[in-house]
Structures are given as structure tokens and as C-alpha cells.
Copies of this chain bind each other. A is one copy, B any other.
Amino acid sequence: MNMLQKEEIKNRVQKVQKQIAHEQVDACIISSPVNLYYLNGYIFDGYMYILPDREPILFVKRPVNLQAENVEFIRKPEQLPELLQKRNLTVPMRILLENDVLSYNAVSRFQKALCMPEMKSVSAFMRQIRSVKSESELQQIRKSALAHAKVYQQIPSLYKLGMTDLDLQIEIEYVMRREGSIGAFRSFGENMDIYMGSLLAGDNAEAASPFDFALGGRGIDPLLPLGSANKLLKPGTTIMIDMAGNYTPYLSDMTRTFSVGEIPEIAHRAHQLSISMHQEFMTFLKAGVACSDVYERAMEMVVENNMEEYFMGTTQQAKFIGHGVGLEINEPPVFAPRSREVLQKGMAIALEPKFVLPGIGAVGIENTYFVTQTGLEKVTICEEKIIVLQ
């Protein structure tokens, strides 16, 4: 890790330390892989114990040879009081924990081990500070987006007549890995199962999924009901490709639409509307704008064009048109009617106005943008028109 990265990580920890003071608690324990990575630059199995006025202590279960400052090896949370006392630190009476990601039993065990301190959640705060990116974080998203575009540019050469949607997805996954995809695709929450992204061909775009993504798809197995359905790609239909941008720890998010041969005029119109909405977003969105207003503005354009019945699905319509991206694919803010978030400079967001046309398939694009004082900077630079596969 270089000096700049060390400085940045120190700043992040200081934000948590300020929150400890603000919430009037004694300490904060971080134990989820994503937040440990954010606050240390690496992942370990254990507990990062943050106090308001000194260096954090890393209580480490694994790896057993972790080389870092202020490490204390530990086997189980019940050892915490003893190990704290050994360092002349008192057992906390009020504490911040990651209550949105730790299981109920894990939190209860911590509480009991620490003699039942008063407890508050730090999960929403962590997601909030992570939503505003530093220059080096934005740089990593840029790097992911470059690889992302390089992979999508190869899609026409991967297509062969007689392929299924799954065949094409597998070829894309292979190219992704060859171009540096790290495989892991992190999401937040309990209904976000996915594997390397989603490819929706033809009417499969109408299939409603249990998961909380913009669109659905039947999937190839009832254990993962999302995306490709292992059906032949049919002339006159579209293929919407929304595969992971997981080429660095920081994700880019990008959707492009392809067609098998020619498709009806309405599909081109809907696709062009999505592109026009992105053009409008580029200046409408900037620091200070309410995310709910972005959703409203998008809906206005959809209604003006009489496209409501196709917007964000048919059978099941998603009630958001975009979200933050970073270490996880669904970070704050969310662009939904009741969102109370306001755009800030340095946020990385993905906007995805999409339409599903029965008998044809999904159309539209998704881009990743950075929020600036004056508008948006587009990061996913890649042909936006529908590309005909043949």
C-alpha cells in the first residue's frame, strides 16, 4: 500500500471515529468483508475495534499470520473483554455494530460477550460514507469500465447462429475472466443472488424474478431464477447484456442491447428514448439534486412518450431507475420515488432506464457516471446504439 492509500484509509477511519463521538457510543466493531476492506485495504476474519481517540485494534481469527500494526489474535468474541482489559481498555457500554449485515445470532453473541452493551447500527452510516468516492476509488471504477467496454466490444464476434442465450453468456463470461474479471460480484441485502451478471434474450425479459434487480429472467435452475433461460436466440428479438464490471474491487455497471437480425420499429424508438433520457440525465443530475426528482424526471419522459407499460418490465416493473455503485453493485443512493437522498460530488451512480417489449425483448442502456458540481461524467464509454448480431 502506498502513502496515498494509507492516508485515505486513515481518513475513512477518522470518519467512523467522528461517528462514534456523534452517536455518543464508546466503540465500533467492523467485521464484514466489504467494510474491513474499506477501512484496512484488505480482508481478514475477525473484528476491527475502533475507538474514538486511538489506533484501531485488529482482533484477528484468520489469516493466522496477518502482518499489520496493532494486531491481537483471537479465537472467539468471548475473549474480547479479557483482551481489552489486557490493553488497559474498558469493556464498552455503548457500541456500534453492522446490524444490517451481521446475522441476528452473530450480533447477539457479540452483545453477550461484551456484557450486553447498548447497541446501535453503523451499517447505514458505512454505506453512506462509502457512497462518496475519493479520486483513487473513481480511478478504479474507470479502470473497471475500460475493461467492461473492451469485453462488450467483443460480443459481436462471440455470437454464432444457433446459439442459446446461455451459450452466449458463457462465451462472454470467459472473455470477462480473460480480461481480468475477479469473479466475485458483491451485492448488499438478502434478495440479490446473481452470478457474473444478467443476459436477457427475447421474451425471457418479461419473466419476473424474486430478486431485487431492475429486470428478471427465468434462469437455468430454480435455485437461481434470474437471467438466461437456455433458449435459442431468435431472429427479430433483442439481447440485453448487463454483465458484471468486476475488474477491480470497484464495480462499473453497464448495459447494452444487441439484436438478432432486424427488430420492429417500436424497439428502436424505445431504445432511442432510453438514450435521450441519458442525455437529459447528463445535465439534469448534479450535486444537490434530489434522487426522487431524477426518478420523477425520468417518469415524465416515459409518460410523454406513452411508454409506461413497457418501462422497467411488464409482468413486474422495478420501482427504481438507478443506484450507486462501488464495492457493492447496489450502493446508495437509489433513484426511486420515495428516495430521500441528495446527489453529492464524487458519488458513482448507474442509471438504467430500460423497456421490455412483449414479443421482442428488452431495450435501453445503462451507464455508470460520476456526479460533479455541474453535471455527470460518463465513465462507461461504449457504443450505445443497438448492435445487430449476425
Contacts and interface: CB of A to CB of B under 8 A. Distances in A.
Interface in A67-112: 97, 99-108
Contacts of A43: 193, 210, 222-223, 225
A65 B316 contact: yes
Contacts of A346: none
B223 A184 contact: yes
Given A182-B221, A195-B184, A223-B182, A63 B104 contact: no
A19 interface: no
A208 B65 contact: yes
Interface stretch (A170-178, A252-260, A350-358, A382-390): A170-178
Interface of A: 31-33, 37, 41-46, 61-65, 97, 99-108, 121, 123, 170, 173-174, 177-178, 182-184, 186, 190-191, 193, 195-196, 207-212, 216, 220-225, 248-249, 315-316, 327
A106 to B, nearest CB: 7
A210 B174 contact: no
A100 B216 CA distance: 28
A207 to B, nearest CB: 8
25 contacts: A31-B190, A41-B222, A43-B223, A45-B191, A45-B211, A62-B210, A62-B212, A63-B207, A63-B209, A63-B315, A64-B315, A64-B316, A99-B104, A100-B105, A101-B103, A102-B104, A103-B103, A105-B121, A106-B190, A170-B177, A173-B173, A182-B195, A184-B221, A184-B224, A186-B223
Closest 8 CB pairs between A and B? A183-B195, A63-B208, A104-B107, A223-B249, A99-B104, A45-B210, A182-B221, A170-B177
Contacts of A248: 221
B63 A224 contact: no
Given A62-B212, A182-B223, A183-B195, 5 more contacts: A62-B211, A64-B316, A103-B190, A174-B177, A184-B224
A32 B224 CA distance: 13
B182 A224 contact: yes
Contacts of A222: 37, 41-43, 249
A190 B102 contact: yes
B105 A123 contact: yes
A101 to B, nearest CB: 6
Contact of A178 (B97, B105, B170, B225): B170
B62 A191 contact: yes
A225 B183 CA distance: 12
B102 A223 contact: no
Nearest to A42: B222
A105 B100 CA distance: 5
Contacts of A174: 170, 173-174, 177
A220 B182 contact: yes
A248 B223 CA distance: 9
B210 A315 contact: no
Nearest to A315: B65
Contact of A193 (B33, B44, B208): B33
Nearest to A230: B180
- Of the listed residues A178, A196, A223, the one surrounded by the most CB atoms of chain B closer than 10 A to its CB is A223
A57 to B, nearest CB: 17
A216 to B, nearest CB: 7
A221 B144 CA distance: 13
